[in-house]
Structures are given as structure tokens and as C-alpha cells.
Amino acid sequence: MSTITPTSQEVPSALSDIASGYMKTQALYVAAKLGVADHLTEKPQSSEALARAIDVHPGALYKLLRFLESLGLFSEPEPGIFALTTLGAHLRNDAPSGFHTQILMNAELHWHLWGELMYTITTGQAADQRVFGMPIFDYLQQHPEKAALFNEEMTRFIATMAPAVVSAYDFSSFGTIVDVGGGHGTLLATVLQANPQAHGVLFDLPITVEGARQHMATLGLSERCTCVGGDFFASVPAGDCIILSAVISDWDDEQSVRILTNCRQAIAPEGRLLLLERLLIPEEPAPPTAFLDLAMLISGGGTGRSQGEFRNLLAGAGFDLMRVVPTGTQRSIFEARLV
């Protein structure tokens, strides 16, 4: 039996960098929340002028800016004068990357959950009840400002994936396409735009559906899309094709089977169920997205799954997994039909 021992008393810089991640997360959050990058868009400014503009302590702000300068988000062309870098521009509220929303959600929502990682690892239970006193999606319904961050982040993510899904899968045979847990409808809108024969049904929580209606109206799809609020643990709307995008990974097996069983009751006899999820391959080294499996567990008890696990899960709800269609993104399409 071999033993691996450190070859030096000095801590490797890579390990120190990992350990200090919490500092960087909070520094990024404070800068984003205060709008520092937005104030530097036009021209460089002194830390004192910035402090007056955003109403904070000048000396403390200077230390924050120096820290973020060391990370490459700001430069200091003259002592005490700070300018925005290309990297730092992602902190702007209007940055196309959506990083501003991501860092706000990480700090205001996920930060608290990850603080209870020890609880989750020792018990195997999600931390949302412990942190918020209720399931995370119930918490979001009661805190619209947090729900808005969540929906904005999911909309941005789905927007990067939707064109690839439409390219990878043929929706032309379906008359009614139901997107369960479809958020503001970014994916469904892309599918409908590419398939003029189809009518869409967007199904999500009532707090989310109004945003979906507005989105569909903006795209001129109101006539072809019905937006319905409800609870997929109770029922889902009927359709020829039912899509669940990044939904099943939020829940454990028992809850997932309940959702899928409701889909079974709603789907047409020759219809198709499409799960858009990450495909885990345990035989391969852990990918950069491996942290998501832990994140799903912490936040609500969900998990990523292998092809075999998806097959068994679907079978438990009366579906047969037909094939897995790669999209060239983080998500694959798991196509299933009624048994």
C-alpha cells in the first residue's frame, strides 16, 4: 500500500488559490452589487470619487479595488485612479455575458446553502430546509427578487443552448409542444420559431408565468403559445411532445417519478417525452461540471444521472428511453416514449 506525502512544507499556490475562493466570491459580489464597474464605464476615476458616487467608505473601497486589481478586474493607471479592464467589464449590469446576475445569485442564494455543506455530506439531505426553513422553490415564490435573479440566470443559460437543441432534434411532427418548468419560454420560443406548424404550452409556477407571457408577446408568439401556471407535482398540460429542461436533475428519484408519472398521464399515445439533462459518464474522469451534482444535492436533493439511471427512472414512470441525442452543449436530449 503506497502513501502519498507532500514533498515540501510550502503550500502549493494552486491549493491556496482554491482555499481563498470565498474571498474572491464576496469581493466580486460587493463590487457587482454596488455597481462599481458601471461607474467606471465612461472613464477611470479615483477611489474617493467612486466612494462618493456609491456612498461607501473611501478607504475600504480602495482596499477592495486593489484586491480586484490583483485579480485583473481593474487596472490602476495612476496611484489611486482605477479603470475597468475587459475582464472587469463583465461586472457591469448590462454585460451580455450575464455574469452580474450570476454573481448576485451565487452570493445571495447559493452562498448560504454551501455554508451547510457539512450538514449535507453527513446526512445526505438537502440544506434548503435548514437554511430557508422551506424547499428552495417555495422560498423563491415568497421572495420575488430572488426568483427574478434565478429566472434571469436560467433564461441566459437556456438561450445559449436552445439553438443547438433545435438543430439536434426534429420537432416537425408535433402539433402541441409542452415545456414543463419552461421559465420565461426561451427554449419553447426557439422551438416554435423553427416549427411554424406547432402550438406551444408554457407551464411553470404562477410567479414565473407572467414573465413568460410578456416574453412571448414581445416575440409575436402570443397566438401560438398558451402560458399556464401550476404545479407539476399535481398535473401537467397535455401535448404530443413534453419537454423538461434541467428539471429532473433538481429532484430525487421519488419526486422525479411523480413528475414523470404526471407527464405520462398527459402525453399523447404516440408522443415523445424529452429530458434535457447532463449525461454523467462515471467511467470517465470528473468533468468541470462535476460541482453541479453537489450543488443539486445541497439546494434541493437533486442529482445528475447516468444513461442507465435515467433509463431506470423513466421505466418507473412507464416510459422507455429510446435514445440519447447529443447537442454539443452541456445538455443531451433523452428521448422517451410510452411503454
The answer to whether 232 touches 203, Cβ cutoff 8 Å, is yes
Confidence class of residue 1 from pLDDT cuts 50, 70 and 90? low
Q: What is the per-residue pLDDT for 10?
A: 80
Which 3 state secondary structure label does DSSP give 297?
Answer: helix
Q: What is the per-residue pLDDT for 11?
A: 83
The share of the chain scoring above pLDDT 90, in percent, equals 88
List % helix, strand, coil for the chain (3-state, nearest 5).
Answer: 50, 20, 30
Mean pLDDT of the 292-321 span = 96
The Cα–Cα gap between 328 and 330 comes to: 7
Q: What is the per-residue pLDDT for 151?
A: 87
Mean pLDDT of the 20-28 span = 95
What does the angle CA 132 – CA 134 – CA 135 come to, to the nearest 5 degrees?
Answer: 105
Mean pLDDT of the 265-284 span = 96
Q: What is the per-residue pLDDT for 207?
A: 85
Q: What is the per-residue pLDDT for 273?
A: 98
Q: In what order do the strands lie in the sheet with 199-204?
A: 225-229, 199-204, 176-180, 239-245, 267-277, 332-338, 319-326
Question: pLDDT: is 261 or 159 the higher one?
Answer: 261
Q: What is the per-residue pLDDT for 67?
A: 97
- Structural Rg of the chain based on CA atoms: 23
pLDDT at position 304 over 60:
yes
Q: What is the per-residue pLDDT for 242?
A: 98
Question: pLDDT: is 177 or 159 the higher one?
Answer: 177
* Helix boundaries (H) for 134-252: 136-142, 144-168, 186-194, 206-218
Within 10 angstroms of residue 119's Cβ, the number of other Cβ atoms is 16
Within 13 Å and on the Cβ side, how many CA atoms surround 82?
Answer: 29
Spacing of C-alpha 91 from chain mean position: 18
The Cα–Cα gap between 96 and 131 comes to: 32
Cα dihedral value 224, 225, 226, 229, nearest 10 = 180
Confidence class of residue 220 from pLDDT cuts 50, 70 and 90? very high
Measured between alpha carbons, how far is residue 13 from residues 17, 20, 27, 168, 257 in Å? 6, 10, 20, 42, 45
pLDDT at position 229 over 60:
yes
Query: Three cell numbers at 291?
Result: 460541482
Which of the residue ranges 3-7, 10-14, 81-85, 100-104 would you say has the lowest mean pLDDT? 3-7
Domain-wise residue ranges, the chain: 13-91, 112-338
Query: Three cell numbers at 86?
Result: 475587459
Q: What is the per-residue pLDDT for 293?
A: 92
Domain with residues 112-338, CATH architecture: 3-Layer(aba) Sandwich (3.40)
| DSSP notation for 200-219 | EEEEE-HHHHHHHHHHHHHT
pLDDT at position 3 over 70:
no
Spacing of C-alpha 82 from chain mean position: 32
Q: What is the per-residue pLDDT for 9?
A: 75
Confidence class of residue 177 from pLDDT cuts 50, 70 and 90? very high
The DSSP secondary-structure symbol of 108 reads: I
pLDDT at position 315 over 60:
yes
Task: Mention the CATH class of domain 13-91.
Answer: mainly alpha
Nearest to 222 by CA among 201, 247, 239: 201
Which of the residue ranges 2-16, 184-198, 279-293 would you say has the lowest mean pLDDT? 2-16
Q: What is the per-residue pLDDT for 2?
A: 57
Q: What is the per-residue pLDDT for 183?
A: 92
Average pLDDT, the chain: 94
Confidence class of residue 176 from pLDDT cuts 50, 70 and 90? very high
The DSSP secondary-structure symbol of 110 reads: I
Mean pLDDT of the 79-102 span = 95
Query: Three cell numbers at 61?
Result: 473601497
Q: What is the per-residue pLDDT for 230?
A: 95
Q: What is the per-residue pLDDT for 56?
A: 98
